[in-house]
Every structure is written in structure tokens, then in C-alpha cells.
């Protein structure tokens, strides 16, 4: 069992920045993949950024060049630095983990594949 806890959400103005953090506890397989996804009110969940155990990263096109995902070497702390935020980035952001070796692109396109997710943290960007 893996437990994930996000922090760092909040409200910012258009063009602002935020740093989201996620702490993982419990059993963590060395080959795990971690990521962030978001869900805006009334919309389907959307993959944002994925990082695997080799440090390879995939971003959604909508956040490329604006968001940066990173993790510590133990893969127990995951971060998402977001800058140049836009109102359309407003959503609940979730940290997620998977141990089954799905391709990063698969997880990005189908966040339901993640085995575990946190409770989420709200990000609101106002114009």
C-alpha cells in the first residue's frame, strides 16, 4: 500500500507561479512511476507530467515549457513547479504512483491506470 499526500496548492493571478509537493509513504517499489494529473470542475482528469524510475519525463503539451516535475532519489518526494500559470490551469491537482511499468505516455493519456493517488490540492488561477 502506498499513501500520497499533496501540499502547496493555492490561488494566484494569471502569470503567477506555484510549487506543489507530494510525499509518499508505505511500500515503494524501485521501478515505480510517479506523476501529476489534474481535474477541472466538470471535466475529465488530465495527465500533466510523468517521471519514471530512470528519470525520464513526459509532459502534457498544454504545460510544456511552463511546468517542471522533479523527484528525490528515493522517489518519496515529488514536486511540480508551475510558472506562467493561466486560468485554464485551474483544477484539483493529484499526485499519483504506479508500480506496474506502464509507459509514461500511457499514464499521461489514461490517469485511471495509476494504482494510487493522493487526496488532491486545489490550484486556482484568476485573470
CB 8 within 8 A of CB 22: no
Cell numbers given for 79: 514536486
Q: What is the CA radius of gyration of the chain?
A: 13
- 108 band by pLDDT with thresholds 50, 70 and 90: very high
d(CA 5, CA 111) in angstroms, rounded, equals 17
Confidence of residue 75 (pLDDT cuts 50, 70, 90): confident
Q: What is the mean pLDDT of the chain?
A: 95
Mean of the pLDDT values across residues 86-114? 96
Please tell me the predicted confidence (pLDDT) of residue 66.
98
Amino acid at each position: 500500500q502506498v499513501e500520497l499526500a499533496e501540499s502547496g496548492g493555492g490561488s494566484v493571478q494569471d502569470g503567477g507561479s506555484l510549487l506543489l509537493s507530494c510525499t509518499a509513504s508505505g511500500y515503494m517499489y524501485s521501478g515505480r512511476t510517479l506523476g501529476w494529473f489534474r481535474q477541472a470542475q466538470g471535466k475529465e482528469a488530465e495527465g500533466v507530467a510523468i517521471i519514471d524510475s530512470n528519470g525520464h519525463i513526459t509532459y502534457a503539451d498544454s504545460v510544456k515549457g511552463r511546468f517542471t516535475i522533479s523527484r528525490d532519489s528515493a522517489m518519496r518526494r515529488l514536486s511540480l513547479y508551475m510558472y506562467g500559470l493561466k486560468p485554464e490551469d485551474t483544477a484539483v491537482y493529484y499526485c499519483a504512483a504506479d508500480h506496474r511499468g506502464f509507459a509514461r505516455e500511457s499514464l499521461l493519456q489514461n490517469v485511471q491506470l495509476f494504482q494510487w493517488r493522493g487526496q488532491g490540492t486545489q490550484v486556482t488561477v484568476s485573470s
